[in-house]
Every structure is written in structure tokens, then in C-alpha cells.
Structure 1
Amino acid sequence: MGISGADKGINNPPFPPPQIITRCDIMVLQEVTDTKGQVVPLLLNTLDSTAGPGAYQALSSPPLGRGSYQERYVYFYRPGRAQLWDWFVYEDTHPQRPDVFAREPFVARFSLPSPALPELVLVPLHAAPGAAEAEIDALHDVYERVRERWGQQDVLFLGDFNAGCGYVAASRWGRIRLRHDPPFRWLLGDDSDSTVRGSTHCPYDRVVVAGERSQSLVVPGSARTFNFTAHFGLTEEQALAVSDHYPVEVELALDGAWGGPQHPPLALLLGLGGALLRLP
């Protein structure tokens, strides 16, 4: 998934259109490769002008990856809706599965204005295509690390898992602990499509939720890909200037109820998996 740094306006979209981010209380971008550290401040300035000063804050991981090519995970969040408590880069040293991740998950813990779900942990992953099965399976180890570190069971995994179309064969899903163990609920099925190109249909980007409380608050039908091509009336060429993947999203009813305007969802979490941010 590529996102250009050129500011082209909504008819030729910038990276990513602020209208995508401002749909969200928390958003995660992936594949950020800005070595000069200019993109995130620039995007925050854009959000200040569109959503109001200080409407969003950002948290960026260190560069992650093997060799010279490295990426960052970046969280954008509304401080009035979610408070950042803590974060860590997963230490990829499991004795049975050392160095399994090409880009270790950057785990963040948020407090939410909700007695029903006072906090939530987010785990983004951009899996290497050739190692997608092993990396998705190893998210189970990340979950155990979160439980050990924070005693937290409400965890949301999201991002470009490369979870399909030859990278994970149907016959292999039974070997993946994150797929079949009871704590985990996959919110997007294998028939979903998170690719922008009309010629492809692949469920690369996923949302997986763990924890009874958070699972009970998922608004029915809210887990989906956000088709910004249709939403903004773009051509495929214009959409590809934003990204070749659609974001995945889910809404949580933090007041513990849903079903009408009197119970709107209080949090929208959306991850633009595999988003490549770079300045021209």
C-alpha cells in the first residue's frame, strides 16, 4: 500500500485525506518511512486546520525492520476521547519463535471514557507477505505479553496481516493460534476485500478482538473496510494515489448499548494497513 506525500487536494487525494482520519477517534497508519521526521508533524498541522487545534495527537514507533528498509507505526488519536497511558515495542525474543516479526508490533494502551470499557490495548501489524502465517500466529505471543505486562485482556489487533490470496492458504488456518483459540474473535471474514484495485479481491487487512468486555461492545455490522473510492466518488486512479488498500474499521459502543441515535458509538477505531507515508 502506498501513500504519496504530494498534497493534491481531495479530487487528487493527499496522504491520506484528513477526511479519513477525522472519521476516527483512534487511527493507526503503517509503513511510514519518513526518515526526516517531517510527515507526522505535517499531517498533524493539516488535522489542526481541518478538525481544530489540538484535535489530534500522534504517537510514532521507532523505525522497525530488518536491514536498511524500516517502517514506523503511527497512532493518531483524539485526546478528548482516548488518553494514551503506555506503549512498548514487542521484544521479539520468544525462545521458540525468535525474530519472527519483520516489523515488531508497536503496542499502545489507551484509557477510554467508559465504565463499560475503561481501557483498550491496540496491536497493529504489517506482516511480511512471505511470513504472514508465522507472524499472525505469533500475535498470540504478543497477547500473552500484554497480559503479563498490564494484566489486560481487552486487546484489538488490526492492520495489514496479508491474511489471504496465497499468503495464508485455507488449509493452514487451523495451525494459527490467533485464529482458533477461544479468546480471539475475527471481525472480518476470509471473503472480505481490502484492496483498492478492482482486479483483486483479497482479505489482507483484518480486525481481531480479544476480551469479553470489548467483544460485547462491538457494534453489530460495524467491522468493515472503508471504501473511500466510493465514499469520495474517486476514480480507481485517484484512489490509488491515496493507497492500494482500504482501511479496516470497527465501532465500539462505550456506553454499553447501541441501536439508535440515543446510543451512538463512542469510539471509532480505524487502521490504514500498509500505508506508506513519504515526502516527495
Structure 2
Amino acid sequence: MLPTTASHVTRTRRLGHLWICCTCLLILFLVGSRSAHYSPWPSSSSGNAQEPLGNASSQTLDVDLIVASQAKDNTTWLLDEFADWRKLIYVTDDPKAALTVPRNKGREGMVYLTHIIDNYDELAKIIIFSHANRYQWHNDDSLYEGQRVLSRLRLAHIQDQGYANLRCVWTLGCPSEIRPHVEAEAPSPASDPASRNARAGSFYKNAFEELLPGVTVPDVVGAACCAQFAVTAERIRQRPKSDYERYRTWLLQTELNDDLAGRIIEYLWHIIFGQDAVF
């Protein structure tokens, strides 16, 4: 056996330390890369990603992604995603934006109705209506990640069914979010539109009768919350354009505030597109 010298021990220790450092750096690099991709929080960068519309008459528009955003929202995550979809990003609080709305009221409902009205005769075969931020609690995903929700969407199912909510989990909205007849009789503050404790259900029955004249107001309304869904042009056109114009006029003229009016429309979409009141 060769004798162990001090210099040999020193070299061995240095090599050991070097190996440990390299291993740690590799682990940190791999973990950092994974965290950057799957972070449950949005990027601190801001800006709105807007693809040019191009000449609609020269394109075959199969899928349009309609995004309801505000100027502060970060929509840049959409730039490199879903290359086969046309992305139309409406900015509700910027009247000079390429795509905007008549008035910033009714939350995403104003965007969705404006797109349908302005493009009624030239809608894509499938239209996906979505909010702007990549990470938000109402995305039906373990990381609340919008890209993963959209990537799992089965377009063939939408084409077959005509309509689908992007949220499947029952909380919030199911099995019974609003009881129109009961809540119409609710006392203040639930029925006081000026109160912070006002509930959309208190005003749902009257709104339903105005928006869907001749249709019986259901006893119970239930659907997964949050107004993100996909629908076909064929299903949209089962109603005349004048219906959607009436819905938007109601949003513009109602004395209900942004939150209450938007929530009423939120729990009307599935009925507008032909689904049962409890869906």
C-alpha cells in the first residue's frame, strides 16, 4: 500500500469539494428552470400582446381566442402559445386600443358581447372567451395556470357539443348559485344596489325577464363560475344578432354597478347558448 501524503489528502479533498459544488450548481439550475416555467405567480413584466388581425377575408379562421383585459394586465404569455389560434385582446379601459369596448362596464361581458356583435357574420368556427392573466384563482388547474387549461381544451368536443365551460369544478356556482324567485324577495342589504353587500341574485329575476322575454324564469340557476368558455359560431347564431345587441344595451343602461351587472351576465351565458339553467 502506498503511503498517504499530506499533499495527496489535500488534492483529494479539493476534488471532493469541487464535485459537491458542481452538483449543487446543477441542482439549482434545474430547480430554477422548472420554477420559472411553473411559477404559480404571474411575471412582474407588463404589457399587452396583440397580434395583427390581418385580412379576415383571406384567412380560414378556425379558432379565435377572445381575451378581456385591462391596460395593467400582462398578456405577453399568449405571444408564443397556440400558434394556430387568432388572439384578439380587448383592452376595456383604453379607448385608443386596437380592440376596445363602448364602455368599461359589465366586466368581461361587455367584451364578449362586443366581439359577437361586431363579428356576427364572420365568426370563427370556435370562439374561446377568456380572461387576461395567466395565473388566476378561477383557472381550473392545480397551479391556476391558464396556459395549461387552454392546452387541455378538446376542440372536437366543442365542435360536437356547441358550448363548454372552461371550469369543471363545482366551486363556485354549482349546484345552485342563484334562486331567482326567492332572492327577488330578499330584504336589504342584499336587495340594495348601493350596498357593498348587495347580491346579484336579488336582481337576477328582473334582468332575466328583460333579457330573455317570453322565457320562464327558472327556480334555480347553477353553473361553474367565472365566465370563461368556448362556443361555436353555429351555436351563437342560433340567436339573432339583435338579441346580443339587447344584452349589451342592457349592460350599458342598467343602473346596477359593474360587479352586479357583470355577475348577472356571468350566470346567463350557459342559458343564452341553449343549456339548462342548472348545467
TM over 0.5: no
TM (normalized to structure 1)? 0.26
TM (normalized to structure 2)? 0.26
The structure in which a higher percent of residues are strand is 1
The structure in which a higher percent of residues are helix is 2
